[in-house]
Copies of this chain bind each other. A is one copy, B any other.
């Protein structure tokens, strides 16, 4: 058959390129041509791997989720102490370095697009559900059963609030404060 090319790898490259464009030019700057330029190819390649712009965008959002989810799972498995594990998960979810900041910028952007966009809205709901479930799992060994649900919700809210704050104003102090708030929350669990 034809050239040997890792289909998934190509898709990842293109999604990565769309992230780069999005973080520099903002959502409105994400055009197929601009993504192609960032990926060092032409729109032809994009058309070959995605049906259209919408599908590329959905893939971008989904990949941002799965990528973060994978990191969470690694952490969840590597750390055995329940409290340390929860702490590691929470810190990993914050935009504390360049890569995670980019992830958060992607998320914020898609929150906006999902307003008035059915498919993306559903996609977002799904990730919330998964994220909440992961937090609930991490909480279960620490607190009593009845509190798990309440605290999971509260953590989602806390992370969203901190994440937004740091993403919109990614200063050293904001990052430091976010970490502090996490530790304060964890302390309240005792």
Q: Which residues on A are within 8 Å of B, measured CB to CB?
A: 22-29, 105, 108-109, 111-117, 121, 124-125, 128, 153-154, 156-162, 164-165, 167-169, 177, 181
- Please name the residue on chain B nearest to A156 by beta carbon: B165
CA distance A165 to B105 in the complex (A): 17
- Please name the residue on chain B nearest to A111 by beta carbon: B108
CA distance A62 to B116 in the complex (A): 22
Q: Is the CB of A162 within 8 A of B157?
A: yes
Question: What is the CB-to-nearest-CB distance from A147 to chain B, in angstroms, rounded to a whole number?
Answer: 13
* Number of copies of this kind of chain in the complex: 2
Q: Is the CB of B24 within 8 A of A125?
A: no
Question: What is the CB-to-nearest-CB distance from A107 to chain B, in angstroms, rounded to a whole number?
Answer: 10
Question: What is the CB-to-nearest-CB distance from A148 to chain B, in angstroms, rounded to a whole number?
Answer: 15
Q: Is the CB of B115 within 8 A of A26?
A: yes
- Please name the residue on chain B nearest to A121 by beta carbon: B168
Between-chain CB contacts (< 8 Å), 16 pairs? A22-B116, A25-B116, A26-B114, A26-B115, A108-B111, A109-B112, A111-B112, A112-B112, A114-B168, A121-B168, A128-B169, A157-B162, A157-B181, A158-B158, A160-B161, A160-B165
Contact of A115 among B27, B153, B162, B181 (CB under 8 A): B27
Say whether, besides A115-B108, A169-B125, A28 and B26 are in contact (CB < 8 Å): no
- Please name the residue on chain B nearest to A26 by beta carbon: B116
Residues of the B chain whose Cβ atoms lie less than 8 Å from the Cβ of A158:
157-158, 161
Kindly list the 6 A-B residue pairs having the minimum CB-CB distance in the complex, ordered from nearest.
Answer: A161-B161, A112-B112, A157-B161, A26-B116, A160-B161, A109-B112
